[in-house]
Chains A and B, each alone.
Chain A
Amino acid sequence: MDIAVLIKQSLDVQELRVDQDTGKIYVEDAPTKAGDIDLNAAEEAVRLKERLGGKAVALMLSTWGSSGRRQKEAREALTRVLAMGLDEAVLIMGEGAERADTYVVAKALAREIGNRFQLVLAGEGSEDNFSGLLPARLAAELGWPYVAYATSLEVEGDVATVTRSLEDFEEVVKVKLPAVISVTQEINKPRVPKLMEIVKARKKPMDAKNFSSSEEPKVRIRELRVPKVERKRVIIEGDKDEAAEKLIQALKEEGVI
């Protein structure tokens, strides 16, 4: 069974700087990386492949432009999942991809997937956009069933058994392959590749493809704003007794206790 794993080049939101006063968001300065949950999807693919045989391939459509730096980061993100044990990677990049919305990305990734894979694994939401739209759209484009929020996954023949976590209950479903399944962070602990494995991963096949699409995006970002959150940021000093007294005093003055 061959598995495709969707790896998004995501903005590292922890490192993203925003300026509350000027409202500026320093997107260009922030690094990008493979999303954390995408690493869980990669780990699950490696484990499945080890049990069932077949190939596991990483697919990425980079939407952060094709500057030298972004290209390098995209390749590094893919090298990381190759080092975890995926067999090959496909990197789609190029003119127009920065404007691609989930509609356009789903169409482009579906063309790459065709009928080559029996299973597509993705994250429940990406690190920088956390929407879960892409895997859902991809399933619809391929005409495959979609199961989200997997916390465990077993495959036997052409049936996957998925435990998924919803707000008020856990659900076990059986789904007929081919299918698209998105995973949560709880499904596994992604292995951390050793230096040797990273060196070896650089020799694994990474197929660079040019992005081309005749579809027009359906969503346009009109504006990005910085939400205003005003915090006092007072550090309370003193030993534990003093600090507790001062904190209680402050909360009384705030009128919250």
Chain B
Amino acid sequence: MRILVFSHYPDLAAELVSAGSGLGDVSLLATSDMREAVSGIKGAREILICEGVESGDQETLVELISGLASDFDVILLSGDRRGRELVGQVAHRVGGSSAVDASGLSVSGGNLIVERMTFGGKAIAVEELALPAVVSVQKGKFKPLEEGEPSIREISPPSMERRIQVVERREKPKVGVPLDKADIVVAVGRGFRRKEDLKLAYDLADVLGGVVGATRPVAADLKWMDEEVWIGISGVRISPKLLIVVGASGQQQFAAGIMDSKVVVAINNDPKAPIFEQSDYGVVMDLYEFLPVLTEKLRKLKGV
């Protein structure tokens, strides 16, 4: 099997190389602005570097990857937004099958077998994909390889007429510890009435040495958090040792992002909130009453 992998993010590209190497020979594609960033990635047979294409140019990337596809059986992309945006376009251009967010990959009977979450996280589907197959891979599922020095091959850019023009790019503020790497997470939901009240959650997280995450509406809609990183099926999947969910209902799309947490605590004043079904410990109480008490007791315990 010949596998082509590409991601805008070097750490995800390294994971894709690892995912692909379980299936066959891997070629890692990079644009020339990523040359440095991918130079340390091990385990691919070769790195293809395309001069004259910028990694932010999605339209040209579709053309470039589709053009290379005839030499490959499987194309692996990353599960971030730009990665996912490419999957369907490339798959259709090459007349191939597709799937997103694969957590497992194998080959059987000339098909690619993909495991992935579906029904908002309520089920896992095992799908048989005809080759060629274009698949995005779930973040964090494959460990980067430590060996295998790739050769470098320069390739030339496609020539094409562009219809999409990027006119502005605004960086979003970066978070300290990324949610998906944190040991302790306090997740806040719309049960908080005002942005200032989130201090209750930050205080709790501080005492525990944890970080604060949010549901999608708090982060993306109300924009109460610095960053636009929310927990769930369309955001980050987390796997902390301890997750404390405060004032979030636990709708399925949020719940899908917390399944790998070790211990889950829910604080919600509605005894019928679905979050209690997905928790180890539940406290049915007004967060405004309970959080200050909990934080104070933990502070005494920890002597901070």
Instruction: Output the nearest chain A residue to B301 by Cβ-Cβ distance.
Output: A248
> Which residues of chain B are within 8 angstroms of A136 by Cβ–Cβ distance?
85-89, 91-92
Q: How far is the CB of B189 from chain A (nearest CB, A)?
A: 15
Residues in B whose Cβ lies below 8 Å from that of A133: 87-88, 91, 98, 100
Residues of A within 8 A of B96 (CB): 218
Measured between C-beta atoms, what is the minimum distance from B164 to chain A in Å?
A: 5
- Given known pairs A170-B170, A257-B208, the reply for A225 and B164 (CB within 8 Å) is no
Q: Is the CB of A145 within 8 A of B252?
A: no
- A14 engages B290 (CB within 8 Å): no
Please give me the residue from chain A that is nearest to B129 by CB atom.
A219
Residues in A neighbouring B284, C-beta threshold 8 A: 235
Contact count band on B:
35 or more
Q: B226 at the A/B interface (Cβ < 8 Å)?
A: no
* Residue A199 lies at the interface, judged by CB distance under 8 Å to chain B: no
Asked if A248 and B298 sit within 8 Å, CB to CB, the answer is yes
A233-B97 contact given A13-B120, A125-B234, A132-B88, CB 8 Å threshold: no
Main secondary structure of the interface of B (DSSP, over half): mixed
Number of CB contacts from chain A to chain B under 8 A: 247
Contact A256 B122 (CB under 8 A): no
Q: How large is the interface on A (under 10, 10 to 19, 20 to 34, 35 or more residues)?
A: 35 or more
* B297:A14 contact, CB within 8 angstroms: no
**What residues of A have a CB within 8 angstroms of the CB of B282 in the complex?**
233-236
Q: Is the CB of B126 within 8 A of A225?
A: yes
The answer to whether the Cβ of A166 comes within 8 Å of any Cβ in the partner chain is: yes
Interchain CB contact (< 8 A) of A254 among B82, B233, B263, B294: B263
CB 8 Å contact bits of A108-131 with B (1 = contact, 0 = none): 000000000000000011011111
Interface string of B116-156 (1 = CB under 8 A from A): 01111111111111100000000000000000000000000
Contacts of B233 in A (CB 8 A): 130
How far apart are the CA atoms of A148 and B285 in the complex, in Å? 40
A170 engages B126 (CB within 8 Å): no
The residue that B122 contacts in the complex, of A16, A149, A232, A243, with Cβ under 8 A, is A16
- Chain A CB within 8 A of B93 CB: yes
A194 surroundings in chain B (CB, below 8 A) = none
Taking each of A165, A172, A173, A218, which has the highest tally of chain B beta carbons within 10 Å of its own beta carbon? A218
CB contacts (< 8 Å) of B216 on chain A: these are 185
A211 at the interface (CB under 8 A from B): no
* In the complex, chain A residues whose CB is within 8 Å of the CB of B97: 101, 103, 218-219
Q: Which of B68-96 contact A (CB under 8 A)?
A: 80-82, 84-89, 91-93, 96
Inter-chain contact A16/B119, CB cutoff 8 Å: yes
Say which residue of B126, B263, B274, B294 sits within 8 Å of A244 (CB atoms): B294
Query: Which chain A residues border B88 with CB–CB below 8 Å?
Result: 102, 131-137, 140
| A18-B122, A185-B221, A231-B280 as given contacts; A219 in contact with B164, CB under 8 Å | no
| B105 at interface, CB cutoff 8 A | no
Residues of the A chain whose Cβ atoms lie less than 8 Å from the Cβ of B170: 169-171
Interface hits, B166-220 → A, CB 8 Å: 166-172, 174, 184, 208, 216, 220
- A240 contacts partner chain B, Cβ-Cβ < 8 Å: yes
- The listed residue (A129, A149, A172, A231) touching B167 by CB distance below 8 A is A172
Q: When chains A and B are docked, how far (Å) is the Cα of A176 from the Cα of B165?
A: 9
Q: Is A184 an interface residue (CB 8 A)?
A: yes
| Additional A-B contact list (10), CB under 8 Å, known A184-B220, A233-B279 | A14-B120, A16-B120, A137-B88, A137-B98, A171-B56, A174-B165, A225-B125, A234-B282, A243-B290, A247-B281
By a beta-carbon cutoff of 8 Å, the part of chain B in contact with chain A is 56, 59, 62, 80-82, 84-89, 91-93, 96-101, 113, 117-130, 163-172, 174, 184, 208, 216, 220-221, 228-229, 233-234, 241-242, 251-253, 259, 262-265, 271, 274, 276-285, 289-290, 293-294, 297-298, 301
